[in-house]
């Protein structure tokens, strides 16, 4: 069984596609990652057998997580699972033309790291604009390869 769970929220498919690429890039480095859409995730997933979590959301409206991921967050803050000892990586898609570029990633970090005690193990990946651009693909590849070295 995979020791890493990636939970994503995606409206347009960009964050879902990025999540699948992270999974494939880490698999190429020998790391198995299970992926779950935030609408199918449950706070109990955070207390299960996983040691590593990758949390991915696009940013909408005034810097908020994608709706399904936001719903997941609301469930998590109600249950308040203890994430001490769990490794956390965060990524997001956004548009730097907006005031709160990738603001969802800041909210995710506050809740899952600051409030619940998870250990952030890598700098947050913020994808600006279209994920398919060469620059974003390079950022993604480098980030995922570094992440693969840091997870169990």
- Residue where the block lists tokens 């999974």: 23
DSSP 85: T
Q: Is it the case that residue 127 has pLDDT exceeding 60?
A: yes
What pLDDT, on the 0 to 100 scale, is given for residue 80?
96
pLDDT tens digits along 62-90: 889 999 999 999 999 999 999 999 999 99
Dihedral sign, Cα of residue 73, residue 107, residue 20, residue 52: negative
Give the residue with greater pLDDT, 83 vs 100. Answer: 83
- Average pLDDT (92-108) is 92
> How long is the chain?
152
Rounded Cα distance, 22 and 16, in Å: 10
Rounded Cα distance, 75 and 80, in Å: 9
Reported confidence tier of residue 1, pLDDT bands at 50, 70, 90: low
What pLDDT, on the 0 to 100 scale, is given for residue 50?
95
The domains located in the chain, with CATH, are: 4-150 (3.40.50.360)
Q: Is it the case that residue 102 has pLDDT exceeding 90?
A: yes
Please state whether the predicted TM-score (pTM) of the whole model is above 0.85: yes
**Cβ-contact 3, 45 below 8 angstroms:** no
Residue 117 CB neighbour total at 10 angstroms: 14
Rounded Cα distance, 59 and 11, in Å: 10
What is the rounded average pLDDT for all residues in the chain? 94
């Amino acid at each position: 069984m995979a020791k890493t769970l990636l939970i994503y929220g995606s409206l347009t498919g960009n964050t879902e596609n990025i999540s699948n690429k992270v999974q494939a890039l880490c698999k190429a480095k020998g790391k198995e990652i299970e992926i779950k859409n935030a609408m199918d995730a449950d706070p109990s997933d955070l207390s299960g057998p996983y040691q590593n979590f990758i949390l991915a959301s696009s940013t909408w409206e005034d810097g908020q997580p994608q709706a399904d991921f936001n719903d997941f967050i609301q469930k998590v803050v109600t249950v308040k699972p203890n994430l001490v000892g769990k490794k956390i990586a965060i990524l997001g898609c956004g548009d730097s033309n907006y005031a709160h570029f990738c603001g969802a990633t800041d909210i995710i970090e506050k809740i899952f790291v600051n409030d619940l005690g998870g250990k952030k193990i890598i700098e947050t990946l913020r994808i600006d604009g279209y994920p398919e651009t060469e620059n974003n693909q390079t950022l993604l590849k480098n980030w995922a390869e570094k992440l693969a070295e840091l997870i169990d």
